[in-house]
Structure 1
Amino acid sequence: MSTPSALDPGSDHMVQPATGTAAILITGYGGPCNIDEVESFITELTGRTHPPVVVESIRRKYLAVGGCSPLHAVAGQFADALSAAINERNESHTPVELGFRYSQPRIAEVMRRFYAIGVRDVITVSLSPFESKITTVAYRSTIAEALEELPGMRVIETPLLGSMPAYIHAHASNLDFAISELPSDLSGSTFVVFSAHSLPVADLLGAEDPYICGIRSASDQAAALLQLPGGKLSDSLLGVELYGSGEGRLHWAVAYQSTGNKPGAWLGPSLEDVVGRAAKHGYQAVAVCPIGFLTEHMESMYDLDVEIADLAILSGIEFVRSSAPSSVPTLVNALADELSAMITR
């Protein structure tokens, strides 16, 4: 096997030399870097071609948020902040790099560059905070394939961010701030929605799927930090079965957004349905917390800030949503502490 170089063909990114043998690989879905990559990205993502009308509708969404996926810039800022925090804690330089499943830089490419500079321990951090077949499981599969060509390299996975107290605290703090931006006379008539990306039902393991359980647990914990009651499954809240609470100073529920084009049933209830029902049941505002997301991306900046905001306004209610927490210093520092401990073990 030929030794991979630190600078892969077709890449203009050089991994900084490590002074130890460990590196951090931040894994994610990826996204198109420009408008011309949209069609190839969604084709690879879904494993099939799409009619021109579907491609054009997706292109228009990306054009509305700058002509590319916001993920690259936002995740890059997260990686830079994490790198600075880790290297403040350790004497040796530890490379921190992004690797994506469906776009550049590819997970396998980054692992080969790490290998070329002497890295043998790769610690992974997933940008997807909760376990699912199409995110974290897919990342592991890609990593396992890459390892077959990198003898002596091992990969250590950090706990998913959705289980970290700092992640929950960051989301709760951002949500509390978003609610405070509403007019004071709406404080008692605001419906809170914890949103996460919908998934195909065929990719889930039933009601006890780790993704569903993880989202509900994180929502419960965030609600508790805002002194709201814990959730339960009920059809008495908005006339449809929801996980949430109709008690306390603010009522809340979990909903799922950004349903894809894959045929078949998708995980619900949909965020659109919940927002519409909240308006019909007399709530005057809706506050959305993207509990399923670490970073801002197209699903937050378009699906929430454009589509759901428009729906709320047309339904006659106010809309606010909290920011994703990737830039919250307490979260970055908590993760840096955990990674630093793993590096020195």
Structure 2
Amino acid sequence: MSAEREIDAVVVASFGGPEGPDEVVPFLRRVTAGRDIPDERLKVVGEHYFHFGGVSPINEINRGIRARLQAELDARGLGLPVYWGNRNAAPFLGDTAQEMAEAGVRRGLVLATSAYGGASACRQYHADIATAVAAAGGRIQLEKLPQTYHTEAFAQMNADAVRRALEELGRDGFDERTRLVLTAHSVPTKANADSGPRGGLYREQVETVAAEVARRVGADRYDVAWQSRSGAPHVPWLEPDICDHLATLPDQGVDAVVVSPIGFVSDHMEVIWDLDTEAKRVADGLGLAMARAKSASDDPRFITLYADLIQARVSGSGPQPPVFCEPLQGATGIGVDGAPCAPGCCEA
């Protein structure tokens, strides 16, 4: 088999989300499987989904990513069909893997909608891939594309989105009155401490991107905050929470803030609820002008980045996307699906 045909297809893998009120609780049951959470509590947890008619934006976003990536790969003459499968909602990755196998696909690349390492952002996708391969009876191999947080493209997409948000505020730049706050999904502090031989790998990756984005937009002073925490209140998570942090800014002389969700690649539910709804409500109550930067998948270069990775993997000799720092992964190891990763990078 030639190198060009070693890879038969690409699959976009994502978290998934409900597409109607009747799907919210079943979706949350899958998300919280094994935690024995009653449905009445899940209905409370799902308030933000019900607020938007039970529809998460993530599925429509991923349909768009799939279509845009297919068009780009076709334009490059790669001849690779693009599929889509989710962890917690239809179409499920296991069903997609079976569909691919039945269509004659033997080896596919997986574009996971996460740029970082860590248990949820990367390790879980490796586990999802292994489960999907088993569901397809081992008739297909799936290989996860590498993390992209450290690429020039990812940093520049986020930096340009910050500049556009700054323009919305009518500010010329960042100063003592205008603050840049960059956010990512919080995780339990113990999970972060156990995430690699260097310790704190996920947080270190987020802080590396935050520093690079801030440098590119000329924000000498910036903050990293966390969002979307869940679970028992007594379990410590990465802090400060974005809403708590916003409350500290007026006393520092800040009257305008750009919030940039660098920890996410899409404007999905956690972005539009935690930032556009809850954080915006807090900012308004404090008299803070707030603009939220768009996430990376909104940018055409997001598709270019992954198409470049795919083309490099398919050809075996194509150039890799340029990076702004060395990946914080330690020594190279082999992941669940055979893809390179760091030993201990994403311990449970």
For residues 2-35 of structure 1, the C-alpha deviation after alignment (integer angstroms, 9 at most, x for no partner) is xxxxxxxxxxxxxxxxx98511111111111211
Is 1:126–1:161's contact at 8 Å kept on the other side of the alignment? no
Is 1:312–1:318's contact at 8 Å kept on the other side of the alignment? yes
**Which of 293, 297, 311 is 2:268 aligned to?**
297
For residues 98-140 of structure 1, the C-alpha deviation after alignment (integer angstroms, 9 at most, x for no partner) is 2111111111111111111111111011102111212321121
Tell me: CA distance 1:58–1:115, structure 2 relative to 1, closer, same or farther (3 Å). Answer: same
**Which of 109, 117, 124 is 2:110 aligned to?**
124
Aligned residues: 305
Cα distance in 2 between the residues matched to 1:115 and 1:185? 53
Give the unaligned 5+ runs of structure 1: 1-18, 229-247
**Which of 180, 191, 206 is 1:203 aligned to?**
191
TM-score (norm 2): 0.81
Per the alignment, in what secondary structure is the counterpart of residue 213 of structure 2?
Answer: helix
TM-score (norm 1): 0.82
Deviation at 1:308, TM superposition (A): 0.2
Q: Which residue does 1:343 correspond to in 2?
A: 314
The 4+ residue runs of structure 1 with deviation greater than 6 A are none
Letter in 1 for 2:110: T
Q: Structure 1 vs Structure 2: percent identity of aligned residues?
A: 26
Per the alignment, in what secondary structure is the counterpart of residue 287 of structure 1?
Answer: strand
Per the alignment, in what secondary structure is the counterpart of residue 323 of structure 1?
Answer: coil
Cα distance in 2 between the residues matched to 1:160 and 1:280? 38
Is 1:170–1:328's contact at 8 Å kept on the other side of the alignment? yes
Tell me: CA distance 1:266–1:124, structure 2 relative to 1, closer, same or farther (3 Å). Answer: same
Cα distance in 2 between the residues matched to 1:62 and 1:52? 15
Letter in 2 for 1:271: I
Deviation at 1:328, TM superposition (A): 0.8
Q: Which residue does 2:341 correspond to in 1?
A: none
Say what the alpha-carbon RMSD is for the aligned residues.
2.1
Deviation at 1:302, TM superposition (A): 1.2
**Which of 29, 52, 58 is 2:15 aligned to?**
29
Cα distance in 1 between the residues matched to 2:171 and 2:151? 32
Is 1:186–1:285's contact at 8 Å kept on the other side of the alignment? no
Tell me: CA distance 1:97–1:163, structure 2 relative to 1, closer, same or farther (3 Å). Answer: farther
1:310 is the counterpart of 2:281: yes
Q: Which residue does 2:253 correspond to in 1?
A: 282
Is 1:35–1:59's contact at 8 Å kept on the other side of the alignment? no
Deviation at 1:321, TM superposition (A): 0.7
Give the unaligned 5+ runs of structure 2: 317-348
Tell me: CA distance 1:155–1:53, structure 2 relative to 1, closer, same or farther (3 Å). Answer: closer
1:191 is the counterpart of 2:179: yes
Cα distance in 2 between the residues matched to 1:301 and 1:119? 36
For residues 125-180 of structure 1, the C-alpha deviation after alignment (integer angstroms, 9 at most, x for no partner) is 11021112123211211211332354353222211132222111111100111011
Letter in 2 for 1:65: F
Cα distance in 2 between the residues matched to 1:110 and 1:53? 31
